[in-house]
Amino acid sequence: MPCRRASAQSQFASGAGNVRSFGVQYALLAKLNRLSMTESLRALSPLDGRYAEKTAALRPFLSEWALMKYRLTVELRWLIALSEEEGVAHVRQFTAAENSWLSSLCTDFDDCAARRVKAIEARTKHDVKAIEYYIRERLRDGSLRDVEASAHFACTSDDINNLAYAMMIRDAIRRIWQPAAHAVLARIAVLARETAGTPMLARTHGQAATPTTLGKELAVFWHRLNRQLKQIEAQAYLGKFNGATGAYNAHRVAYPDVDWRDLSRRFVGGLGLTFNPLTTQIEPHDYLAELAHALMRFNTILLDFCRDVWTYISLGLFRQGAAANDIGSSTMPHKVNPIDFENAEANLGISRSGLAHLADKLPVSRMQRDLSDSSAMRNYGVAIAHSYLALLSVERGLEKLSVDHAALAAELDDAWEVLAEAIQTVLRKQGYADAYERLKTLTRGRQVTPEGLREFIAGLDLPSADKARLMELTPATYLGYAEELALDALESE
């Protein structure tokens, strides 16, 4: 028998009236979804093992339990749509109470209901058919027993699956992944603003180069990530509902006077999806490839960010705070390792590789369909989860960072050779044909001191204004528009 009371998890997943903050949502879901230690240790994937609590927020959207719930939602919404369509004579119009009861089958979907679906699937060996049979079982219990045969009417499995997956992935991205991404970008933005004018030695090819500011370099990453995030937020989630080979064949035979194309368009749009009017048996998954590519680009940029921050930590430009009980090394007590950025790098790599395969595989199907997309689709959530784990790690790592201003200043004070670019550019302005060569001889492979550089400048035949400007220049003031560029970018949003 189905359970009477909805679990807290299923009530949360329904999303009705939920106004909790992202942080509170995460804490609640982590508590609701916590696995026992034994289950965690026996899990094949670290997503449901070591990282079970961290990935808990995604389970109401990307688990097999969630897939059942979303499939059930599509099936029941379709049954209600049929009852409201005047031309579909064999499905009577439902009462308000009956519509409410059908909706409750979705909102009250719980572990007991999921176990019943799995028991039916064990007999049918078909997961979508198991949902249909589960619905028919429930319809027999009450006033809707007369429409039992109309469950899954004129549907093929992918009519249900493509809409369920589209809503699952949409909700996981919008409700869980995007807030986590915004949290990371917000931390980067705060740090970039605070350090917009903080001079820093740049390194091109790993060598001392024209100075920048720490905030400007952080703002570059913020700007890149924000651009990709906007594309992810604008992603359309497509859906189709057109039968076994995409032409409404059975629909038109059963009810030739019903405008099935219009009904399908309204039904898909009513689920908050973009209608795809022309498909084979399956929705071709092109939008899922687009989303995968956008997530891959975001992951790639974030991985680049993690490696740069890791390098700045290794150079001593960033310091990391650590809780009293944290251990960095099992043998070297002094160490505070940048593990958050290292963990993020690993998970971003796994996510990227999974998304790359899905982007290549999902849009390809033999003839009107083959089943290989079905197994592949079950791993889309895995790729999202690894990216989400990385976001949590990066946010945690950023919380620990503090800027070592003395180390930044010391690096600049030891790199007076970077002013060679400025000097030779002024010499070129004044017509020195050998400007580059003269500065190359002065600075390459030699220790450059402020005294030596100023002595060189003093001996140049330059207008007094140019000479004075060069004499006052230091590595810490040779910053161009770095601060303004950082602040302008951050304030543009």
DSSP per position, 341-358: HHHHHHHHHHHHHHHHHH
329 included as an active-site residue: yes
183 close to 392: Cβ distance less than 8 angstroms: no
Compute CA distances 186 → 176, 305, 308, 356, 491, whole Å: 16, 14, 18, 27, 12
- Beta-strand runs (E) in 13-122: none
DSSP per position, 204-248: ETTEEEEEEEHHHHHHHHHHHHHHHHHHHHT---EE----SSSS-
Closest CA to 489 of 283, 169, 220: 220
143 included as an active-site residue: no
Contacts of 262 (CB under 8 A, 6+ apart): none
Number of neighbouring beta carbons within 10 Å of residue 371: 11
Angle 407-410-414 from CA coordinates, rounded to 5°: 140
Number of neighbouring beta carbons within 10 Å of residue 244: 18
Alpha helices in 109-236 (DSSP H): 111-124, 127-139, 157-172, 178-194, 214-233
3-state secondary structure of 112: helix
Number of neighbouring beta carbons within 10 Å of residue 187: 19
Q: Which listed residue (45, 100, 143, 329) is catalytic? A: 329
Contacts of 204 (CB under 8 A, 6+ apart): none
Tokens for 106? 């979705």
Q: Which listed residue (205, 330, 375, 464) is catalytic? A: 205
- C-alpha to C-alpha distance for 204 and 206, rounded to whole angstroms: 5
Residue 324 is given by DSSP the state T
Tokens for 475? 């590595």
Compute CA distances 479 → 32, 195, 204, whole Å: 51, 13, 15
- C-alpha to C-alpha distance for 351 and 178, rounded to whole angstroms: 15
Residues forming the active site: 205, 329
